[in-house]
Structure 1
Amino acid sequence: MYYWKQWKQPRTRRRELLALGIAPGEVHKASRSRKGYWRMSQMSLVRHALHNRWLEEQGVPEMRATWIKLHYGQLARV
């Protein structure tokens, strides 16, 4: 959701989704949508483009691993 909100303009959303390898016909459906940020982040097209591996490459911390370390300590298996 954060990245979708950061790409405020439809032009920016289109450019970023195309750079992530989404087909131009599909990009049009998402980039011009007036739905809210959270709802769009759950759209399959956006979830396919902004997958976990890509988010990890961008430096976004994995919430599951952080939660496990906080609740079970450093010795917990992730």
Structure 2
Amino acid sequence: MYFWKQWKKIKTKYGNLVKVGMNNNKAWQYANTRKSYWRTSNSSILNKILTNKYLENIGFVSISETYLLKY
């Protein structure tokens, strides 16, 4: 939800979805959704595009992995 809310404008959402690997038509349809941030963030498309591996590659640290390493 954080990323979806951060990409406020439709143009930004569309550009970032295409950059991550979504095809142009689906990215445009998805960027124009009227559903809430929370509902969109739980969708299957965003779960496939914004994976933990992708987030790790851009520099985010997984809370669960950090916890498991400590204990």
Q: Same fold (TM over 0.5)?
A: yes
For residues 31-59 of structure 1, give each alpha carbon's deviation from its aligned partner in whole angstroms, at most 9, with x where no partner exists.
Answer: 01121212111111112211111100111
| Sequence identity (%) | 34
Which structure carries more helix by proportion? 2
Taking structure 2 as the reference length, the TM-score comes to 0.85
Structure 2: segments with no counterpart, 5+ residues: none
Could you list the structure 1 runs, at least 4 aligned residues long, displaced by more than 2 angstroms after superposition: 66-70
Alignment of 1:28-43 (within 5 A): 28-43=28-43
RCO higher in 1 or 2 (8 Å CA, sep ≥ 6)?
2
Question: How many residues were matched structurally?
Answer: 71
Q: Which amino acid aligns with 1:28?
A: W
Show the counterpart of 1:22.
Answer: 22
CA RMSD of aligned residues (A): 1.4
